[in-house]
Structure 1
Amino acid sequence: MPTEKPPLLAVLIDADNTSPRWTKAIFDEIAGMGEASVRRCYGDFSSTQMSGWNKVQAEFGLVPHHQPANTVGKNASDIALVIDAMDLMHSGRFDGFVLISSDSDFTRLASRIREQGLDVFGIGAKKTPEAFRKACKRFIFLENLAAPEVKEKTAVPGSVPAPTANLTEARDLILKAMDSIDQEDDWYALGPLGQFITAANPDFDTRSYGKKKLSDLVADLKIFETKRGPGNQLLVRRID
């Protein structure tokens, strides 16, 4: 029986706006999304501040696209990234794109790629403007990925970073999703509920609340109870 191929992804990194210290954590995350067949980073690599990127390019198979800042202006790298993304999109070879940046300038690019029927995953810092986060199918905060030095020295395998968001926010998102689904049964299948939350909030991530899975997050919110339903699927309902 043939094995289903993973989605083919084009990974485009705004190196001017991303620290190279996140590279390993980023590609560990991307490995769960699909095959990163194109790996490009964009920036002015002649700058001393960019020396870290020169060190990780070979290790992670990154193809550097050098854009001197004094040729077209400070957005030269952004323009080059967008042009390449359009070329790759029109090639018809890819199932999705991973845009790594905390810059709102890529909002329209993400929207345009999704209009083409392709998935767009964004990865960036918490400071990333909401417009760009919402334009992606899913947006992952760098702060939810273990930094390399933490991962290697102190992190326990399978652990998640410390929570950066309030549990009240998670509770409200879950309740809002239940109200929006508006079914007669009080018990909601946790899988579809999580998909609904992520579709409405691309930057939703249980790791923001210090939890590895949605089931762990729900268990920590005392206004919900869970049980196993048909097919051993996990069901959840509000009890207060």
Structure 2
Amino acid sequence: MVLNRKSHLHELAEPLRLSDHAVFDLRNFSQRRTSRQYGLLAETIGQHIAQMRTPSCKVFIKSFLCYNHKIMQQLNENDIQIALLIDADNAQYKNIGALINRVSTYGRIIIKRAYGNWTKSALKKWDSVFNKYAIKPIHQIDYTTKKNATDIALIIDAMDFLYTSSCNCFAIVSGDSDFTPLALKIRETGSQVIGAGLPGTSKSFVNACDIFVNLNEIDDDGESEQVKKLTEKEKYLVTLFKTAAESWQDDEGYTELGNVGNYIKRVNPDFNIKDYGVSKFSAFLEKYKNVFDTREVKTKGGGSTIQYRMLI
């Protein structure tokens, strides 16, 4: 991801530890920001080092590599604006909800579109997910039997969004190798590409993506005994906790509870934890001790934070 003058650098109050890939030291960054203070930052990936001196701040950026999952997680959530583009001919409607949950861990999805010829009987069941997940269906008739008009429509929209929207990350759901040039082009502009598909997805497309999600791995129809006892509403929230844990857990399997609240708000802006009979997320974890293992960890400032681990 390319940094620019509009980046809200003051919000990054602590250094980001990125496995020696990048070091941000912005603790002395002044709250009195001016355009001159932003200066010239590193705008290319790799070995560039930028040093900026002004009366009120000093910023160093070393070896910034953005093609890294961990960096995507640690950047401000508002910096990642995602367009989710679904090739319905090469995807399954059953796991779209789980996919949206997973993609939302990387940033905010601002565009959701599914492409297909909706008169086809094979795509009839997609109707059930459009309203449920706020996906805009794009109908594309087949002009000939030799060319896939759906693929072309998706590619045209992707290129349009690349240059006219605020999207800097594209999630392309398909297994078709025809999308490989698109993924490569998007990455050439400095934007991110998240691919998603079923087993058997073209290797060229997988390799062209920064991150690839196997749809079968996030679509788990089997339920543990603990989950079977929950209501549908409770299962939904547990699923969100589980998806967040898969993306943010540490080496011991624990996840910071603070990460989950922001993530759930991205997935469901109308979410209210009080609808579950508790006043805060930590109370929900305590309520279902057979599903979550929690611990309290002391922080450097003398406070504490709650971490959880899935038991299912």
TM class by shorter-chain length? 0.5 to 0.7
- 1:215 counterpart = 2:215: no
Distance 2:202 2:250 in 1: 25
Report the secondary structure of 2:111's partner residue. strand
Distance 1:58 1:151 in 2: 26
Report the secondary structure of 1:88's partner residue. helix
Contact 2:174–2:197 under 8 Å retained in 1: yes
What percentage of aligned pairs have identical amino acids? 32
- 1:137 counterpart = 2:210: yes
Distance 1:71 1:53 in 2: 23
Report the secondary structure of 1:39's partner residue. strand
Amino acid of the residue matched to residue 99 of structure 1?
Answer: I
- Alpha-carbon distance change, 129 to 57 in structure 1, aligned in 2, over 3 angstroms: same
Which residue pairs with 1:234 in the alignment? none
What displacement does 1:70 show? 4.0
Instruction: Look at both structures and tell me which one has the larger radius of gyration over its CA atoms.
Output: 2
Normalized against structure 1, the TM-score is what?
A: 0.62
Residues 114-166 of structure 1: per-residue CA shift (max 9 Å, x gap) = 0011000001112112111110001111121034x446966986669xxxxxx
Q: Which runs of 5+ in 2 are unaligned?
A: 1-9, 13-75, 229-234, 254-299, 301-312
Which residue pairs with 2:106 in the alignment? 33
What displacement does 1:214 show? 7.8
Which residue pairs with 1:22 in the alignment? 95
Report the secondary structure of 2:167's partner residue. coil
Normalized against structure 2, the TM-score is what?
A: 0.48
Alignment RMSD (CA, Å): 3.1
- Which structure features the higher share of helix residues? 1
Which residue pairs with 2:158 in the alignment? 85
Distance 1:146 1:31 in 2: 16
Distance 1:215 1:2 in 2: 27
Equivalence map 1:224-239=2 (5 Å): none
What displacement does 1:52 show? 1.4
Q: Which runs of 5+ in 1 are unaligned?
A: 161-206, 218-230, 232-240
Residues 72-119 of structure 1: per-residue CA shift (max 9 Å, x gap) = 754000000000001010115112100001111100100000001100
What displacement does 1:67 show? 1.0
Residue of 200, 204, 209 corresponding to 1:127? 200
Higher relative contact order (CA 8 A, sep 6+): 1
Residue of 58, 66, 72 corresponding to 2:139? 66
Which residue pairs with 1:187 in the alignment? none
- Alpha-carbon distance change, 214 to 41 in structure 1, aligned in 2, over 3 angstroms: same
Report the secondary structure of 1:22's partner residue. helix
Distance 2:204 2:250 in 1: 25
Residues 161-186 of structure 1: per-residue CA shift (max 9 Å, x gap) = xxxxxxxxxxxxxxxxxxxxxxxxxx
Amino acid of the residue matched to residue 215 of structure 1?
Answer: D
Distance 2:182 2:128 in 1: 28
Distance 2:149 2:184 in 1: 21
- Alpha-carbon distance change, 95 to 81 in structure 1, aligned in 2, over 3 angstroms: same
